[in-house]
């Protein structure tokens, strides 16, 4: 099927395009004229042997693919649709140790173990500590801003809570926390030339996290504490993670739980400050529906992918066995078939069946409740401590092929 309005070679994951904006007009065009559309990629860009991927842009189709793992495998590589340089086979093999890139039954076994650390009770137990953290992060940002100064919302506020939440969850001691943050930044941001991070540095950072986490696991096995590490590795065997499995799980948390939530918070703040009516409403009523709308609006993960396990029809297209399929959550979350006035930021939107945490199915975001809690806690604290916050410049965006990221957002405290 031809998509008349998009030029040949158009790629929704082009970091230059995503750095400037999320391609909403192009998504709208694709949804209308070619909802499952072949995006050709020049050799070497995809990192795979093929020459492109199917871009899935409608809400219903993204859900369908996500909930049919027997037709669409996660095994090849879920997160990366486009690389700057060719990925080696070895790197793909390593990525398969991360649960995001596993299929049932292997995935089912790991997921059953790790979700013990994410029960409603486990998340509730973090609430008190995270509430105090959120408050102190915002108060510190205010105290350090000076009288009429401006500060960067991303580094002063958005970065901190997600990092602390994961560290709290897995019991990382305070003195090691900035190391984890630094490594996870390096892994996720190597596309952005400003960080001057090569793929080698990213891989090295990933290995450092694995080895840090394996040491943590070994220490907790010796001397269990009241944290998720102790629960997951308490005894080797069927119902527990091996130390190296735990290491790869921590890598996933460091990226999946850190960069995503940070960008939801930064985009949420930007949305509030550019929609003052919604900010006033939030400060007055604090609607329980707020966090879900922030995630729909921000859609921090632009897209993930699957690979067809057999020939299958989708959106009027015949997808061949082994072909890659990109699930564009950014497009699904703006599908007018599902959302009334999707271009409106409305914190009272209810229902809000957005796919920002995935399209359902076995890989649905494990950390959703934690992310929603963090977003609620930080905006509550900001509304209490910085009610007069104002925008002091345009956001600077992250250059990435899959993250809808903000690098810098200058604000003024009053």
Binding positions for ligand HEM, rule: CB under 6 A: 66, 78, 99-100, 111, 166, 252-253, 256-257, 260-261, 264, 295, 300-301, 304, 356-359, 361, 363-367, 370-371
Of the pair 6, 48, the CB lying nearest ligand HEM is at 48
Shortest Å distance, C-beta 300 to ligand HEM: 4
Beta strands 303-308; 151-152: pairing state: unpaired
Quote the distance between the C-alpha of residue 41 and its chain's center: 24
For residues 394 and 196, what is the distance between their CA atoms, to the nearest angstrom? 23
- Picking from 152, 150, 159, the residue whose alpha carbon sits closest to that of residue 180 is 159
Least distance CB 66 / ligand HEM (angstroms): 5
In the complex, what is the shortest distance from the CB of residue 376 to ligand HEM, in angstroms, rounded to a whole number? 12
- Give the largest CA-CA distance in the chain: 63
Query: Of all residues in this chain, which one has the CB nearest to ligand HEM in the complex?
Result: 367
Q: How far is CA 128 from CA 125, 335, 367, 373, in A?
A: 7, 37, 18, 11
100 touches 256 (CB < 8 A): yes
User: Between the CA atoms of 56, 58, 63 and 66, what dihedral angle is there, to the nearest 10 degrees?
Assistant: 10
Residue 144: CB minimum distance to ligand HEM, A:
26
Strand partners, 301: 403
Question: Nearer Cβ to ligand HEM, position 99 or 385?
Answer: 99
Please, what is the minimum distance in Å from the beta carbon of residue 365 to ligand HEM?
3
| Cis ω for the linkage preceding 6 (within 30 of 0) | no
Radius of gyration, alpha carbons of the chain: 21
Strand pairing category for 36-40 and 52-56: antiparallel
Q: How far is CA 194 from CA 206, 216, 260, in A?
A: 20, 32, 20
Closest CB to ligand HEM among residues 6, 262: 262
Q: How far is the CB of 360 from ligand HEM (least distance, A)?
A: 7
Please identify, using beta-carbon distances, which residue of 278 and 299 lies nearer to ligand HEM.
299
* 343-364 as b/e: b if 16+ CB within 10 A: eebbbebeebebbbbbbebbbe
Q: Which of 34/255 has CB closer to ligand HEM? A: 255
Shortest distance, CB of residue 102 to ligand HEM, whole angstroms?
A: 7
Of the two residues 36 and 375, which places its CB atom closer to ligand HEM in the complex?
Answer: 375
- Which is closer to ligand HEM, CB of 370 or CB of 378? 370
Least CB distance from residue 166 to ligand HEM, whole Å?
A: 5
Of 322 and 362, which CB lies nearer to ligand HEM in the complex structure? 362
Smallest separation (angstroms) from ligand HEM to the CB of 8? 29
Looking at the Cβ atoms of 198 and 242, the one nearer to ligand HEM is 242
- Name the residue nearer to ligand HEM (CB basis): 3 or 406: 406
For residue 290, the number of C-alpha atoms closer than 13 Å in the C-beta half-sphere is 26
- In whole angstroms, how far apart are CA 279 and each of 15, 287, 322, 379? 31, 11, 47, 10
Q: Which residues make Cβ contacts (< 8 Å) with residue 236, sequence separation at least 6?
A: 242
- Minimum CB separation from ligand HEM for residue 5, in Å? 27
Write the CB contacts of 28 (distance below 8 Å, at least 6 apart in sequence): 334
């Amino acid at each position: 099927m031809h998509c008349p309005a998009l030029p040949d070679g158009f790629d929704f994951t082009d970091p230059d395009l995503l750095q400037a904006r999320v391609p909403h007009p192009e998504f709208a065009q694709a949804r209308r004229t070619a909802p499952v559309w072949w995006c050709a990629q020049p050799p070497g860009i995809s990192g795979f042997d093929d020459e492109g991927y199917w871009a899935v842009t409608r809400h219903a189709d993204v859900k369908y693919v996500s909930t049919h793992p027997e037709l669409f495998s996660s095994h090849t590589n879920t997160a990366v649709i486009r690389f700057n340089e060719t990925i080696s086979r070895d790197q793909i093999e390593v990525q398969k140790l991360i649960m995001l890139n596993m299929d049932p039954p292997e995935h089912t076994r790991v997921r059953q173990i790790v979700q013990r650390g994410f029960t409603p009770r486990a998340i509730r137990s973090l609430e008190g500590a995270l509430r105090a953290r959120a408050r102190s992060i915002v108060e510190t940002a205010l105290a350090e801003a000076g009288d009429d100064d401006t500060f960067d919302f991303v580094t002063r506020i958005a970065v901190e809570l997600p990092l602390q939440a994961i560290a709290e969850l897995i019991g990382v001691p305070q003195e090691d926390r900035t190391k984890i943050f630094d490594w996870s930044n390096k892994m996720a941001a190597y596309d952005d030339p400003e960080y001057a991070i090569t793929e080698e540095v990213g891989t090295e950072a990933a290995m450092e996290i694995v080895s840090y986490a394996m040491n943590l696991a070994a220490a907790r096995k010796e001397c269990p504490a009241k944290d998720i590490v102790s629960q997951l590795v308490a005894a080797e065997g069927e119902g527990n993670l091996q130390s190296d499995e735990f290491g790869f799980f921590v890598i996933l948390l460091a990226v999946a739980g850190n960069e995503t939530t940070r960008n939801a918070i930064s985009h949420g703040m930007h949305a509030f400050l550019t929609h003052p009516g919604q900010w006033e409403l939030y400060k007055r009523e604090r609607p329980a529906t707020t966090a879900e709308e922030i995630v729909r609006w921000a859609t921090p993960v632009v897209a993930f992918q699957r690979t067809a396990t057999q020939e299958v029809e989708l959106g009027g297209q015949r997808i061949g066995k082994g072909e890659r399929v990109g699930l564009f959550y950014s497009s699904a979350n703006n599908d007018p078939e599902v959302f009334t006035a999707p271009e409106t930021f409305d914190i009272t939107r209810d229902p809000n069946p957005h796919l920002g945490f995935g399209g359902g199915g076995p890989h649905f975001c494990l950390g959703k409740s934690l992310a929603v809690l963090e977003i609620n806690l930080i905006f509550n604290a900001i509304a209490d401590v910085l009610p007069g916050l104002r925008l002091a410049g345009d956001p600077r965006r992250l250059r990435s092929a899959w993250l809808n990221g903000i690098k810098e957002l200058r604000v003024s405290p009053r």
